[in-house]
Structures are given as C-alpha cells and as structure tokens.
Amino acid sequence: MQQWRRVAIVFCGFALVCNFVPSEPFLTPYLLNVKGFTEDEVNNQIYTVYAGRCPLIRPFNHRIRWSYAFTVFLLIVGPAAETVGYKTLVVTNALAHMVTRVVLVWGETLGAMQFMQVTYALAMACEVVYFCYVYKLVDAAHYQRLVQVSYGVVS
C-alpha cells in the first residue's frame, strides 16, 4: 500500500472518531433540562466562551469557529506545533476531546461547563494543527485526493 494511502486511512479514522458527535444537536436541551442551567446561563455564560458549535448559531453558519477561547488557543498552537512537535498536539487534541466529554457528563457547576467549552476550544484549535500535519506527511502530488477524502469524512 502506498504511504499516502496509509496516512489518509489513519487520518480519516481519527477525524471520524473526533468529529462523530451525535449528541451535539442535543447540547442545549441537555444543559437546560438535565443539568438545570437557565437559558440565560447557557446562551450568555457558557456558549460565549466558545460559540463554534452552538446549536443556536450553527443553523445559520455551521462554519463559525471563532470565539474568545478558540482564538487564544489558535494563536498558541501554531508556534507550539513547531516547538513541541505536531504529534504532541495531535495527542492534545484527542485528550481535549475526552476531557470535554467527561466534564460535560460529570460537571455540575457553571464553571465546569465554561471549562468544558475551553477544553473544546483547545480541541478545535489542535484540530487545525492536525490537518496541517497530515499535509506535512503526504507528497504534494496527493494533496487533491487527500482533500477530497478528508472533506468526505469531516463534513
């Protein structure tokens, strides 16, 4: 098997696992009904930390990813990728996704939910580095095919 195909398979598998979030459309009802937060707390104190996957915003533009925490992390992870290495940030991406889910399920306070949004912002910022790292591993001749496959998995 060609090297770029192996990279594409691993990349697509990892991206599929990280982006498979069937609970995402139910985040607002979960926070309101199960966790007991008010609508004001959810919209003005939790989602404002990271608004990238807010169900209230997403129907209008599902590509919105800019917010306070995400912007800060994005400025940090680019230079960090060159300093500590891309693989370290790929592992950080996976860990941040796991911490996000753990805090979402077992966190009870407003501060815990805000921390959950911060860890989610870290995961999304590291995901940008992850996409860059894949192109560093593959020859330029295979970029177009890799883009086609990656958009099919992530979209």
Q: Where are the alpha helices (DSSP H) in 21-142?
A: 27-29, 39-41, 68-84, 86-106, 110-137
pLDDT tens sequence across 96-122? 999 999 999 999 999 899 899 889 889
As a whole number, the mean pLDDT across the chain is: 80
Structure tokens at 13: 């598998």
Q: Spell out a b/e string for 120-137, using b for 16 or more CB atoms within 10 Å of the CB, else e.
A: bbbbbbbbbbbeebbbee
Residues 22-41 have pLDDT tens digits of 777 888 899 999 999 999 88
What whole-number distance in Å separates Cα of residue 113 and Cα of residue 42? Answer: 9
pLDDT at 21 (0 to 100): 75
pLDDT of residue 61: 38
Closest CA to 81 of 136, 153, 10, 6: 136
Distance CA 132, CA 134 (A): 5
What's the confidence (pLDDT) of residue 50? 65
User: Under DSSP, is residue 51 helix (H, G, I), strand (E, B) or coil?
Assistant: coil
Task: Provide the total of helices (H) and of strands (E) in the chain, helices listed first.
Answer: 7, 0
Q: What pTM was estimated for this model as a whole?
A: 0.79
Query: What percentage of residues in the chain have a pLDDT greater than 90?
Result: 25
